[in-house]
Every structure is written in C-alpha cells, then in structure tokens.
C-alpha cells in the first residue's frame, strides 16, 4: 500500500512538473446546409438554412447559369448570375464560384436549369472548440527564402474534411517534381473583409461539396498580400504534419486540383477575388511575384522560359511558358482579363527578383551537333554544362527566326526532333536554363532531312508493235512526302543488264516508244519521282521486240 501511494505521488509530481499545453479557442466550426433544388423554371422556392449565409455554392446538371438573390432583413438584393468555377469537376456537374451572401437569412435561385443543388456555408458563427496550441507546419526552401505562409492550422482548416466516415483519406497526397506554375483567381469577392473565412469556405466547398477531399489550390493570396497554405502536403494518412512549402520528400510538389488534366507536376496559386476588369491589388501582386520567384528557385524554373510539360501520371504533353494562367490550359476566363494581360510583366518581375537574389544563369552549351536520321527526325547532342536545371531546344527554318520546340531535364544532353519534314534544312541551337534565367545560345548546328520517295511502280508490261514498243504499269501506291510528280522511262538495247538511259518522263501510266528498229529487242524499267525530285526504286524490267 505504501509503495502504491509512493508510485502515484511520483507520477503526480512528474505530471505537475511537465509543461502543460496551452489551450485556446479554435476557429468556428463550419456550418453548412446542402439543398437539392431540382429543376428551375423561373424563380425557385425561398431557402432559409437556419444560420446566416456567408457563402453560397450552386451546381447544376444542365441549363444556363442560375441567378441568385439574398434576403437581408426585409429587403432582397438584386438578382445576380453566378460565375463559373472552372476547377475540375469529378462528377460531371457544373459548379459556380462561391457567392458572398453577406450573412443573409435566406436565398432564392432563378433560372432554367436541371438538377440544381445549393450549399449554404457559414465559417464565422459556428461553435468554437478549445484546441491545444496552433502549430505552423514545417518549412523548407531553396536558395531564395520562402515568403511567409499562413499555415492550414493558422487559417482554421478542419483536417477531418480530408477523411471519410471510416477514417480513410479521401485524396492521399501524391508528389511529383514541379514543372509549371499556374496562376488563378477565385472569381469571388474583391476587397474581402475576412479572407481567412473565405479560405475556410473554399476549403469546405472543394473538400466536401465537390468531393475533392481537400482544397483545390496549392496556395492562395488575399488582397493584402497574405499567402495561405492550400493543399495538405504532409505524409499520406497524417493530420498534423503539413509542410508550408507544399513539398514532400526530394523537393517534389504535392498534386492539387486546380487545372484539369495538368495537376500533377504543377503548382496552382490563386488570388482571392475577380480580376476580369479590375487589376490585382498592389500588395497581392507583390506577394505573388515573391512567391513565384521562390517557387521558380525551388523548382529550378526559368520564369521567362517555356518548356514541354509532361504529365507524370497520364503522359499528356503541352508546350507552355513556365509561369502561365489557367486559361493557357483550359477554356476558361481565369485568371481574369486584366490579370492575364499582366502576366508578361509578372514574369519579368519574377526574373528580376531572382537576378537580384544572386542566382546566375548557366554558361552556354557547346559542341552542338545535328544528324538527320530520317525524313522526319533529327537527333541533337551537346556537351553538358554546370549549374543548369534543364536545356531549351530551339529550331529555325532560315537561321534567323527561332522557335522553342522542347526541353530536356538536368544533365540530359540529347534531344530528338520528331516534328521535322522531309527535304528541309533546319538550324538548331540550345540554351541552358536555371532559376537565374537562360544562358546565351549554343553554336548553331544544321541538318537536312532526306526525302521520302514514292513507292516503285509495279506490273510493268511491254508489247511490241510496228517499229514501236507499248509500255504500261500500275501507279505508285504511295506518292511520297512531296507528292507524286510523274514517271521516268528508262531503256536499254544492250540486254537486261543495261546500261539503261532515261528516254522520257510522263504523268501517265502508259508510254509508247516509237521510231525503233525492226527486229531489235529493247529492255525497259520505270521510276517514279516526287515534287522534290526524290526517286523510287526501279520497277520490274521487261522487254519486247519492235516489228
């Protein structure tokens, strides 16, 4: 009994000396109410979700974009058509961007649509549970320091949304090297009075309503320039090991859901608001430039360069700038007209930011050689340089106008141009790239692709006549790369072994060789040629005696 008392006393003492975790009020729990509205033919019923409507998301199967209005006190707002949310749809429905409700007590939809559903969301008035501390996540980075990021914990992400009722993670994180940076706008409210609440609403809308299992963007930026961590990037199955960098092991970026068909290997950064006719706020733009510079440095991307994106999951490829807008990848207005028009300036500002950070561009590649292996393929090779993260390959038809045709990864010093055409001389050059920019171009190498000749004529026959021989043959089954131009007729009076000489050209598949000596046997074959002068193999050899 005395030993038991002593043991319990010791445990109590240890617990008393141990540091106690700080308790704090957490963020309000998100309130949400989904309503199956059904078919709309004009105005639908008034919906009162039972809590102030901070945001409303609408989806439909077919029809036009519905309109919505909100009730504040005794006054209804004007009808406003919802904006499309152009993020990927996993269920075939069309979704609106979240519409600010302004804490309305009710909403009403109007339109001509089928299968309409609406989700009212409130992220400010729910119960506030006690929580233990507020972690900030893990940080990592590159030679350029990562700008400050508000962690998921700090903006109030409810990590339970990422798991189904059985505890299984809906969308486990997957990681791939970052190839492209894609900017978006959320098509929501400008000058948002509570951006963290909006981020929580977007999170619920994406993770639960749309079924993603998480927020679709990798990062979000508000009008004041604050950057919010988006998609969870901790190890699969965890809830409290997120990384602020959005990366996992080996500096690979986590796949989000911001650009359908191109999510793996890209980072999606969204600015809260709509920037179709108004510019991005100065503070938000400045933070975006800083963040794009850090991402470019981390991933070794030239912010003013272009390269071929290769989806590491599907294999889909697309040649595009390294910093792009959503509309470069899909039929969408995102990130808004004025925002998109500013992208060239944003790329230049990112490049200037990197240059000021002291990351120098690599040296120029040397020893470039080009060899035409077929009528449509030219193989290139060059000597590797140091400090590069990739190489950009450019081609010119005349040595003065250059077009980028592809890119290779770090230390990869060969490239096959499979888009060449026959009978053409191409000039090539290569530039090395890294986060500091592009090197001067390499030496210029040229190669001339051979032509693809027509197939040889077949079935040649010869019939002797009065001082003549009549020839007939079957046309070439393939006209060659430059188009069939005609046939050459060759003959020999010295036997089937030749020598043969050309006696005529014709576009027909018959030829009469007249003015011959009677009693003499002549031998013939026929060769097809195309518009570039490429010749086929000779046809079969035939003979006939002139009578």
The pLDDT score that the predictor gives to residue 24 is 66
pLDDT band at 386 (very low <50, low <70, confident <90, very high): confident
Q: What mean pLDDT do residues 136-154 have?
A: 69
**Which residues have a Cβ under 8 Å from the Cβ of 217 and sit 6 or more positions away?**
184, 202, 230, 231, 256, 258, 268, 269, 270
SS3 361: coil
Q: How far apart are CA 65 and CA 76, in angstroms?
A: 20
* pLDDT tens track for 438-491: 889 999 999 999 877 899 999 999 999 999 999 999 999 888 777 889 999 999
* pLDDT tens track for 312-327: 999 999 999 999 999 9
SS3 12: helix
pLDDT exceeds 80 at position 158 = yes
Q: Give the 3-state DSSP-derived string for 486-525, with helices as H, strands as E and coil as C.
A: EEEEEEECCCCCCCCEEEEEECCCEEEEECCCCCCEEEEE
Give the residue from 115, 122, 123, 110 showing the smallest Cα distance to 89: 115
* pLDDT tens track for 30-46: 999 999 999 999 999 99
pLDDT exceeds 70 at position 8 = no
Is the whole model's pTM more than 0.85, yes or no? no
* pLDDT tens track for 496-509: 777 899 999 999 99
What are 409's two structure tokens? 């990864």
* pLDDT tens track for 89-128: 889 999 999 999 999 999 999 999 999 999 999 999 999 8
Q: How far apart are CA 52 and CA 36, in angstroms?
A: 19
What are 478's two structure tokens? 């393939």
pLDDT exceeds 70 at position 437 = yes
Give the residue from 248, 187, 188, 192 showing the smallest Cα distance to 218: 248
DSSP code string of 444-464? -EEEEPPP-PPPPPEEEEEEE
Q: How far apart are CA 322 and CA 344, in angstroms?
A: 11
> Taking the C-alpha atoms of 516, 517, 521 and 527 in order, what is their torsion angle to the nearest 10 degrees?
-20
Whether the Cβ atoms of residue 177 and residue 253 lie closer than 8 Å to each other? yes
Whether the Cβ atoms of residue 108 and residue 43 lie closer than 8 Å to each other? yes
Which range (17-31, 374-388, 515-529) has the least confidence? Answer: 17-31
The pLDDT score that the predictor gives to residue 132 is 56
pLDDT exceeds 80 at position 410 = no
The pLDDT score that the predictor gives to residue 23 is 59
Q: What mean pLDDT do residues 37-65 have?
A: 95
Contacts within 8 Å (CB) and 24+ apart, 496-503:
496/523, 496/541, 496/543, 498/523, 500/525
pLDDT band at 143 (very low <50, low <70, confident <90, very high): low
The pLDDT score that the predictor gives to residue 5 is 45
């Amino acid at each position: 009994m005395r030993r038991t008392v002593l043991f319990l006393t010791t445990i109590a003492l240890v617990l008393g000396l141990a540091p106690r975790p700080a308790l704090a009020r957490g963020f309000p729990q998100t309130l949400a109410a989904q309503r199956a509205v059904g078919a709309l033919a004009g105005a639908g019923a008034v919906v009162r979700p039972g809590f102030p409507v901070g945001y409303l998301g609408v989806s439909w199967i077919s029809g036009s974009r519905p309109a919505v209005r909100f009730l504040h006190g005794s006054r209804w707002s004007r009808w406003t058509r919802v904006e499309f949310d152009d993020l990927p749809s996993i269920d075939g429905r069309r979704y609106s961007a979240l519409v600010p409700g302004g804490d309305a007590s009710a909403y009403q939809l109007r339109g001509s649509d089928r299968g309409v559903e609406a989700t009212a969301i409130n992220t400010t008035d729910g119960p506030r549970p006690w929580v233990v501390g507020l972690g900030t996540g893990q940080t990592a980075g590159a030679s350029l320091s990562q700008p400050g990021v508000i962690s998921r914990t700090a903006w109030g992400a409810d990590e339970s949304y990422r798991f189904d009722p059985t505890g299984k993670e809906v969308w486990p994180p997957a990681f791939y090297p970052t190839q492209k940076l894609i900017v978006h706008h959320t098509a929501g409210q400008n000058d948002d009075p509570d951006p963290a609440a909006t981020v929580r609403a977007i999170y619920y809308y994406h993770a639960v309503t749309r079924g993603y299992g998480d927020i679709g963007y990798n990062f979000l930026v508000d009008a004041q320039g604050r950057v919010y961590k988006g998609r969870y990037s901790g190890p699969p199955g965890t809830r409290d090991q997120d990384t602020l960098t959005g990366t996992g092991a080996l500096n690979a970026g986590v796949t989000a859901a911001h650009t359908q068909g191109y999510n793996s290997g890209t980072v999606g950064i969204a600015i809260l608001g709509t920037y179709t006719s108004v510019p991005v706020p100065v503070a938000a733009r400045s933070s975006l430039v800083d963040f794009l510079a850090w991402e470019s440095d981390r991933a070794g991307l030239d912010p003013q360069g272009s390269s071929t994106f290769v989806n590491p999951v599907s294999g889909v490829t697309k040649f595009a700038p390294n910093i792009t807008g959503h509309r470069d990848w899909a039929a969408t207005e995102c990130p808004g007209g004025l925002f998109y028009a500013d992208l060239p300036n944003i790329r230049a500002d990112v490049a200037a930011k990197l240059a000021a950070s002291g990351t120098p561009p690599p040296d120029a590649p040397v020893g470039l050689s080009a060899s035409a292996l077929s009528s449509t393929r030219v193989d290139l090779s060059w000597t590797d340089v140091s400090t590069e993260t990739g190489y950009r390959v450019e081609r010119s038809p005349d040595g003065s106008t250059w077009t980028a045709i592809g890119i290779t990864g770090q230390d990869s010093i060969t490239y096959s141009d499979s888009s060449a055409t026959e009978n053409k001389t191409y000039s090539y050059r290569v530039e090395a790239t890294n986060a500091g920019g592009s090197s001067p171009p390499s030496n210029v190498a040229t190669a001339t692709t051979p032509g693809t000749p027509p197939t040889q004529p077949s079935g040649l026959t010869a019939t002797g006549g009065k001082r003549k021989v009549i020839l007939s043959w079957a046309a070439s089954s393939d006209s060659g790369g430059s188009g069939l131009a005609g046939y050459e007729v060759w003959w020999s009076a010295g036997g089937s072994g030749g020598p043969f000489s050309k006696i005529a050209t014709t576009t027909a598949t018959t030829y009469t060789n007249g003015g011959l000596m009677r009693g003499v046997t002549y031998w013939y074959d026929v060769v097809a040629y195309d518009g570039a002068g490429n010749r086929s193999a000779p046809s079969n050899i035939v003979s006939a005696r002139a009578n």
